[in-house]
């Protein structure tokens, strides 16, 4: 692996607040080390900007190991950048050795994700979708002995495939409809597959889908861009499962789900 540094030009979306129009600013990075991560490149640029008296570029990040879901920017039109199944914090600059050496960096754009500043967006809508029903209603201390209900290994593994979602929002940013169907479907499927999730399965699908729509996310029209952009590779099959649970629930529902936003 080459250790040679290279030059890069970044065009970064700068927007001082939700009501500012925002625009791209051009920055030169004369020494990009191939072993640094994309966020470390932004760190380095920020340290130079701050020492120069300018404001650093605001971007969300935390664990920097691909699991917390805080980070995420659109790099040359692709959420989390060019490497498949990789969050922005885990994207290393060796991916850019052979170009492109001029890149455009933008926030995850969707009307349900209002911009707070620069590359930082408000993903509170995701929390509200979970609050609408993304849980098993079990009181602390009331649980049965853990091995009392056997769960077939295949089912547990499948539930885990869905549960791996990190809630970053790349699926929304990738979707031409800004739909959060993959995010919502992943949680509905995770809980709907397990025996523990059965009692509330249909209600859950109905409530979470209603909240998804109320937040202003679009519908799914099977572009499957979400799965391609998902850093955890969550499958669009879970959208199909959500649709099935939702449909079944609408046919059998006895009460209306209030609109909650």
Partner 1 sequence: MSEGNLMELRSNAPTGPIEERWTKHKAASNLVAPANRRRYNVIVVGSGLAGGAAAATLGELGYNVKCFCYQDSPRRAHSIAAQGGINAAKNYQNDGDSVFRLFYDTVKGGDFRARESNVYRLAELSLNIIDQAVAQGVPFAREYGGGLANRSFGGAQVSRTFYARGQTGQQLLLGAYSALSRQIEAGTVEMFPRHEMLDLIVVDGEARGIVTRNLVNGKIEAHTAHVVVLATGGYGNVFYLSTNAKGSNATAIWRAHRKGAPFANPCFTQIHPTCIPQSGAYQSKLTLMSESLRNDGRVWVPRKKEDCDKDPRSIPEADRYYYLEERYPAFGNLVPRDVASRNAMYVCNDGLGVGPMVDGQRRGVYLDFADAIKRLGEQTVRERYGNLFEMYERITGESPYETPMRIYPAIHYTMGGLWVDYNLMSTIDGLFVGGEANFSDHGANRLGASALMQGLADGYFILPFTIGNYLGTKRNFKEIGDDHPAVKDALNEVTDRIKGLMNAPDPKHAPEYYHRKLGAIMWDKCGMARNKAGLEEAIEEIPKLYEEFKRHVKISGSGESFNQCLERAGRTADFFELGLLMCKDALAREESCGGHFREEHQEEGEAARDDENFSYVAAWAWNGESGSQKLIKEPLSFEYVKPSKRSYK
- Residue numbers 147-206 binding partner 1 by CB under 8 A: 147, 149-153, 156-157, 159-160, 163-164, 166-167, 190-191, 194, 196-197
Residue 237 touches partner 1, criterion: CB under 8 A: no
- Which residues are registered as beta bridge partners of 74? 79, 106
Shortest approach of partner 1 to residue 72 CB, angstroms? 11
Choose between 139 and 254: whose C-beta lies nearer to partner 1. 139
Shortest approach of partner 1 to residue 223 CB, angstroms? 26
Strand-strand pairing, 102-106 and 74-75: antiparallel
* Half-sphere CA count of 150, side-chain side, radius 13 A: 3
Residue 79 touches partner 1, criterion: CB under 8 A: no
Residue 144 touches partner 1, criterion: CB under 8 A: yes
End-to-end C-alpha distance for the chain, whole angstroms: 51
Shortest approach of partner 1 to residue 115 CB, angstroms? 11
**Residue of 49, 78, 228, 240 interacting with partner 1 (CB under 8 A):** 49
Number of residues engaging partner 1 in binding (CB under 8 A): 83
Q: Do the beta carbons of residue 182 and residue 227 sit within 8 Å?
A: yes
For 53-57, the CB contacts below 8 A with 24+ separation are: 57/12, 57/14, 57/118, 57/119
Choose between 142 and 222: whose C-beta lies nearer to partner 1. 142
Give ∠ CA 26-64-56 in degrees, rounded to 5.
30
Dig out the tokens for 233 from the structure: 């590779």
Q: Do the beta carbons of residue 165 and residue 232 sit within 8 Å?
A: yes
- 257 to each of 181, 204, 208, 245, how far by Cα in Å? 19, 10, 10, 15
Choose between 140 and 252: whose C-beta lies nearer to partner 1. 140
Name the segment binding partner 1 (CB under 8 A); options: 49-57, 101-109, 177-185, 219-227: 49-57
Residue 20 touches partner 1, criterion: CB under 8 A: no
Name the segment binding partner 1 (CB under 8 A); options: 21-29, 57-65, 214-222, 238-246: 57-65
Shortest approach of partner 1 to residue 59 CB, angstroms? 8
Residue 9 touches partner 1, criterion: CB under 8 A: no
Name the segment binding partner 1 (CB under 8 A); options: 74-82, 86-94, 170-178, 221-229: 86-94
Choose between 24 and 135: whose C-beta lies nearer to partner 1. 135
- 143 to each of 153, 157, 196, how far by Cα in Å? 21, 22, 10
Within 95-134, which residues bind partner 1 (CB under 8 A)?
116-117, 120, 122-124, 126-127, 130-132, 134
The residue length of the chain stands at 261
Q: Do the beta carbons of residue 20 and residue 37 sit within 8 Å?
A: no
């Amino acid at each position: 692996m080459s250790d040679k540094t290279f030059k890069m030009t970044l065009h970064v979306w700068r927007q001082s607040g939700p009501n500012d129009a925002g625009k791209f600013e051009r920055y030169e990075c004369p020494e990009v080390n191939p072993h640094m991560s994309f966020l470390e490149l932004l760190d380095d640029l920020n340290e130079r900007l701050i020492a120069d008296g300018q404001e650093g570029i605001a971007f969300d990040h935390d664990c920097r190991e691909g699991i917390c879901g805080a980070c995420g920017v659109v790099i040359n039109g692709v959420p989390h950048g060019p490497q498949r199944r990789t969050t922005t914090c885990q994207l290393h600059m060796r991916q850019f050795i052979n170009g492109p050496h001029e890149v455009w960096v933008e926030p995850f754009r969707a009307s349900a994700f209002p911009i707070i500043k620069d590359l930082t967006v408000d993903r509170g809508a995701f929390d509200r979708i979970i609050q609408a029903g993304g849980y098993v209603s079990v009181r602390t201390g009331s649980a049965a002995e853990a091995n009392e209900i056997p769960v077939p290994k295949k089912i547990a593994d499948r539930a885990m495939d869905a549960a791996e979602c990190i809630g970053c929002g790349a699926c929304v940013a990738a979707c031409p409809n800004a739909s959060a169907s993959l995010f919502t479907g992943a949680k509905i499927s995770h809980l709907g597959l397990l025996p523990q999730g059965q009692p509330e399965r249909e209600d859950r699908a109905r409530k979470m889908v209603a909240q998804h729509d109320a937040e202003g996310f679009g519908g799914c029209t099977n572009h499957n861009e979400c799965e391609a952009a998902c850093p955890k590779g969550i499958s669009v099959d879970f959208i199909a499962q959500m649709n099935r649970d939702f449909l079944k629930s609408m046919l059998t529902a006895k009460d209306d789900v209030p609109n909650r936003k």
